A and B are shown apart, each in its own frame.
Chain A
Amino acid sequence: MSKERIGVYVCHCGSNIAGVVDVAEVARWASEALQDDGVVVARDYKFMCSSLGQELIEADIREQGLTRVVVAACSPHLHEHTFRKATERGGLNPYLCEMVSIREQVSWVHTDRHKATEKAKALVAGGVERVVHHEPLEPIRVPINEATLVVGGGIAGIQAALEIADSGYPVYLVEREPSIGGHMAQFDKTFPTLDCAACILTPKMVSVGDHPNITLLTWSEVEQVDGYVGNFEVTIRKKARYVNEELCTGCGICEEKCPKRVIDNVYEAGLGYRKAVYRPFPQAVPKYPVIDTKNCIYFERGKCKACQIFCPTKAIDFEQEDQIIQVKVGNIILATGYDLFDARRIPQLGYGRLANVFTSLEFERMCNAAGPTNGEIVLRDGVTKPQSVAIIHCVGSRDRNYNNYCSVICCMSSLKFAHLVKERTGAEVYNFYIDMRTAFKDYDEFYQKVLSEGTHFIRGRVAEVTDAARLPGEEGKLIVQCEDTFIGKQRRIPVDMVILSAGLEPRRDAKEVAKKFGISCSADSWFIEKHPKLDPVATMTEGIFIAGACQGPKDIPASVSQGAAAAARVLSHIQQKELSLEPVRASVIEEKCSGCRICNGLCPFNAIIFHEDRRVTEINPALCQGCGTCVAACPSGAITGTQFSNEQVLAQLEGLLKIPVNGSSARLPEPELA
C-alpha cells in the first residue's frame, strides 16, 4: 500500500482522445486496479485544461487530501505548466504532478479502441508508479543582467537592438561586416510597396549608430560565450580596422586616394568595385572605413601608404591590432541572417559561364541608383539595354537536388524584378515559376498588377539556359529551355538577359555559431526555435533568442516582426529582474563521485566543471538544462536528474509492464531455479 494519496485525471480532449480511447474505462480501471498503488480518486473530464477541469483537481487536493496528481492528457510540452499551476493552487508543490501523454502517444497514433485503451491504462500505471518518487522542488532563481547582446546587424538585429535600447537598456550589437544594414542595404526597392530600401533602412541604421544605449561593434565577431541566462559572459574579437575611430571623420579621402581597386563580392555581389580601404556604401554605419589587408598594397608589399599620407586627421593606423572585448549580458539575440544560394551549383542554368545570366542579388545592385550601373538595367557589357528578360524562380529551392524547402521571398522578388524591368526598359519579361506564392497582405494584388503590365508567366521548371542557337531568331540570344505545363509542351524562349532568383540558405558557419551559443540547428542548418508555433523566437537554451532569416527564409516584414518579438521577450526578462528556472536539473552527489571524468566532455551546455583539487565533478545548476546526458553516462550513479532519477524512471517502467498486454504480462519471467 502506497503512503501517497494519488488523484488520476483522464482528459477527453474533446474527441481528440475520447474518439479512440475509452477514457471513462481508463478512469474506472485506475480507481480500482491502482488502489494499492495509492490512487484514491480517478476522474475523466471533457477538457481537463479548462478552468473547470483544473478546479476539479484543486478541489480534490483540498477535500481528499491528495499528495500526488497524475494527469493523463496531451503532451507535457503543452499543458504541464497548466497542471502544475493547478496542483500548486490546490496547495501542493507543483512538481508533485505528473503528466501522461495519452493523446500524442496513444489516440493520435492508434486506431484500435481496445488496444489503445489498454495502452492508456499502462501509461497511467507508469505515471502513478513514477509520481510516488517525485520530490517537491523549488525553482532556481537567477538575477538578470540588463544588457543584451544582439548578433547580426541586418534589419532583424537592428530592430531588436532599437526596441531594447529605446526601452532604456544597454545593447551590444555585433556585426562581422564593416557596416550594419545586412542584405536589406543591398536592395533597391522592396515588395510589394516599392518603397526604396535605403530610404526606410538608413534612418534606422543612423539611430543605431547614434543611440546612447547601443554599443556598436562592427567588423567584430563573437569568439566565446560562457555563463547562462541572465549572466552570460561574451568574448568578442574586434578586428583591426587600421583606422582610428577616435580621429576618423568619415570624409572618404582615403578611399578616393587608394590606388587599389578590388571587385566587391560582398556588398556589390561581384558586380562592382571597391577600394582596398573602403566603406561598403556611402551611408555605412559606422562611417569609419576598414583596410582590407589581403588587397592593400602596403600590407602586401610594405609600400604605398597613400591613405595615411592624405588622411587629414591622421586616423590611419597600420599598427592597429585585433582587440578582445569581454561583455556581460543577460540575454542574447541571434539575427545572423542567411547566405544566398550559389547559382553556380546548377551549371545548366549558366551562371558564371554565360555572361548575361545574373543572380537576384546582382540584379538588386544593378537596379540600385547608388549601384555600379547607377540604376541602369543593362547587359554585362555595361551599356546594352535588354529587349527581353527571363526571370527564373526557385533556383536552388523546392528542388530535391539542392534544398527541399521554399525560400519564401523569391516569388515576390521575382515579381518585383519583372515590374522593374518593364518600368525601366520596356523589355518583354518572362517569369518561369513552379507555383506562385503570394501570400500575405497586398502581395497577391502586386502579382495582379504585374500580370496586368504584360509580363508573361510560364508555369514549369527550366531545364537549361544555353547560348547554342538552334532555331531562327535564337542567334546571339540566351535560350531558356523549359516545360510549359499549362500547354503541355517544351518551349524555347530566346532572351537577352536571365535573372536567377536564387534561394536562401543558412549561413555557411551556422552550425559552428549554434554550437558556440549552445542552441540547435535543423538538418538544413536553420536555427531551431523552441516551439514552431507558440515560441518562435526563443530557443531551447534559456536566454538565447533568434530572429529573422537565421531561423528560416523570411521577408523583411517577418524579420522585423521577429526582431521586435525577440526584443519583447528579452525586455520581459529584464523587467522581471530575476528569473525562475525550471528546477529540472542534474546534480552530482559529491560523496559518490570518484572523479572518473566520463561525464566531463558530454554537456551540450558546458555546465560540467571538474575540480582538480578535490577530484570531483560539479554541475552548474543555472547552466544545466536538465537534458540528462550526464545522468545516463555516469557509471557510478553519482549524478541524479531531478524528475528523471533512476528510481522515477524504473518505477515508471515497472508500472508500464504491470499491465497485461493481450492477456499475458509483458514482464519477463524471473529466472527459475532448476
Chain B
Amino acid sequence: MSDNGKPRFGMYWASSCGGCEISVLNIHDKLLVVDEVFDVVFWPCAADFKYEDVRGYPDGYIDLCLFNGAIRNTENEEMARLLRRKSKVLVAFGSCAYEGCIPALSNLTSKADTLQAVYLNSPSTENPSGILPQPRTSVPEGELEIPEFYHTVKSLGQVVPVDYTIPGCPPEPHQIWAVLETVVAALKGQADLPPAGSIIGAGQTAVCEECPLTKNEKTVRRFYRPWEVKPEPGLCLLEQGLVCMGPATRGGCGALCPQVGMGCRGCYGPLDGVEDQGARMLTALASVVEAGRPGMDEHTLEKEIEAVMDTIADPAGTFYRFSMAHSILKRARVNGNGGKPGLQSGSGE
C-alpha cells in the first residue's frame, strides 16, 4: 500500500499488439474509479514512468501488476523478471501473456526466417542493402545495444511464476472490471482473493454455453472460410462448415464472435483439464467429419477424409492461433537436427 493507503497498481506491455491496454481503457468512466482506488506506480502506456523507477522500488512494492504480452526478446524477459520481483500479485493479462497468442505462431518457423520475412521479403519493405537488426552496433559515439531477439516465444508463465491469468484477446472490459472489483474488495478485506494460480475473469464452460445459436447433432462434409458462405442466421456455425473454436474455448466473453457470424477464434484458451486446445478441437472436428460411404475401401476413404480436412486452410494457425506456446507441439524443429537436445540453435544468432 502507498502512504495514502491506496494499493499500488502497475501495468506493462511486452510482446503484444497493445489491444490489452486499450481494453483496460475500454472500461470507460470506471477508469476514474481505478485512479481513485489505486496508486498507479508503473504504466508506460498511460503515464510517464521509466524502467529505472521500477528498479528503484523495493521488492513487492507493486500490489497488483497486469502484465500483457508474450516474451519474445531479452527486454521482455528482463521486465518479466523485474516485475515479478517488484509485484505482490502478478497477473498474466490477455492471451499473449497467458499462452503466447499470435506472436507465438512464429514458433512454427525459425528466428532467421522470421527476420527474413519481416526485414527482407515483405512486399512493403524497402531494404536494398539487406540490413538486419544487430544486438550491438558500433557508431562513432560508442556502442548501441538493442534487445536480443529470441528463437522461441514464451508465455509469461513459462518465464516467471504468475499468480493469476486473465484470458482473452483482449480480455473483455466487463470481465476486467469484475476482476478489479474483486481485487479491490479483497484488499479492503471484504472478499477473498481467488485461489492462487486460477484463471479469473472468465467462465468455466465453453463458449457454446453463452452462444445463442441453435445447436444440433453435427456432421460436416466440408469446411468453408468465412468469405465463402453467408451463414444461415440462428444456426450453429460449425454445423454450417465454418470453423468455430467455441466448443474448445473457455467462455466468459459472451460469445461475441459467433453471434455476428464469425466463428469463435479461441482467444480465451482451453478449459480446465484440457492439455492442448488445438488438438482437442481437431479431435472434435475429426469426430464429426462425414466422408465416404459405408463399405468403401480404406484407401479411398482415407482420400475422402483428407479431401474434407484439406478444406481447412492453415490448420496450425487456425487451431493454435492463441495457444502455440502452450501446445504439446511446442515449436517447429530448427536446423533439422531431429530436435535433439543441446543441438537446437539456441545461441541467439
Contact = CB atoms under 8 A, between A and B. Distances in A.
Given A599-B287, A634-B284, A672 B215 contact: no
Nearest to A670: B330
A673 B160 CA distance: 12
Interface stretch (A129-137, A480-488, A586-594): A586-594
Given A595-B208, A668-B339, A637 B271 contact: yes
B151 interface: yes
A672 B204 CA distance: 32
B294 A637 contact: no
Contact of A669 (B206, B294, B295, B344): B344
B107 interface: yes
A404 interface: no
A593 B251 CA distance: 12
Contacts of A672: 151-152, 344, 346
Report the interface size class on chain A: 20 to 34
B30 interface: no
Contacts of B270: 637
A673 B81 CA distance: 14
A594 B283 CA distance: 17
A594 B284 CA distance: 14
Interface string B191-210: 00000000000001111110
Interface string B236-273: 10100000001110010000000000000000001111
Given A592-B204, A592-B205, A671 B217 contact: no
Interface in A650-674: 650, 664-665, 668-674
Nearest to A631: B283
Nearest to B270: A637
B96 interface: no
B273 A664 contact: no
A511 interface: yes
Nearest to A600: B217
B109 interface: no
Nearest to B290: A601
Contacts of B208: 594-596
Contacts of A673: 71, 77, 150, 152, 154, 159, 346
A669 B339 contact: yes
Interface residues of B, number: 52
B222 interface: no
B280 to A, nearest CB: 5
Name the residue in A595, A598, A638, A670 with the highest tally of chain B Cβ atoms < 10 Å from its Cβ: A598
Interface in B135-159: 148, 150-152, 154, 158-159
Given A594-B207, A635-B247, A637-B274, A671 B348 contact: no
Contacts of B341: 664-665, 669
Interface string A507-535: 00001000000000000000000000000
Contacts, number: 122
B272 to A, nearest CB: 7
Given A595-B209, A637-B272, A602 B248 contact: no
B107 A594 contact: no
Interface centre among B71, B204, B330, B341 (most CB of A within 10 A): B341
B337 to A, nearest CB: 11
Given A600-B218, A668-B339, A671-B331, A646 B275 contact: yes
B38 to A, nearest CB: 32
B190 interface: no
A632 B248 CA distance: 12
B230 interface: no
A551 B6 CA distance: 79
B284 A597 contact: no
A594 B207 CA distance: 7
Contacts of A638: 205-206, 271
Contact of B280 (A601, A637, A669): A637
B114 interface: no
Contacts of B150: 673-674
B284 A633 contact: yes
B318 interface: no
A633 B287 contact: yes
Contacts of A595: 208-209, 215
Contacts of B216: 597
Contact of B107 (A599, A634, A671, A674): A671
A592 B208 CA distance: 11
Contacts of A602: 287-288
A592 B339 CA distance: 37
A674 B339 CA distance: 15
B97 interface: no
B281 interface: yes
Given A599-B287, A671-B331, A635 B217 contact: no
B340 A664 contact: yes
A632 B287 CA distance: 9
Interface in B206-229: 206-209, 215-219
A674 B346 contact: yes
Contact of A594 (B251, B288, B339): B251
A598 B217 CA distance: 7
B85 to A, nearest CB: 18
A629 B284 CA distance: 10
A610 B215 CA distance: 11
A671 B339 CA distance: 10
A508 to B, nearest CB: 12
Contacts of B344: 669, 672
A636 interface: yes
Contact of A596 (B206, B274, B294): B206
B347 interface: yes
Interface string B309-349: 00000000000000001000011000000011100101110
Given A598-B287, A672-B344, A591 B204 contact: yes
Contacts of B215: 595-597
Interface string B150-186: 1110100011000000000000000000000000000
Contacts of B246: 594, 596
11 contacts: A593-B205, A594-B247, A598-B287, A598-B288, A635-B274, A636-B274, A637-B273, A650-B275, A664-B341, A673-B71, A674-B347
Given A601-B217, A635-B206, 8 more contacts: A592-B271, A594-B208, A594-B251, A601-B288, A633-B286, A634-B280, A636-B280, A672-B152
Interface of B: 71, 77, 107, 148, 150-152, 154, 158-159, 204-209, 215-219, 236, 238, 246-248, 251, 270-275, 280-281, 283-284, 286-288, 294-295, 325, 330-331, 339-341, 344, 346-348
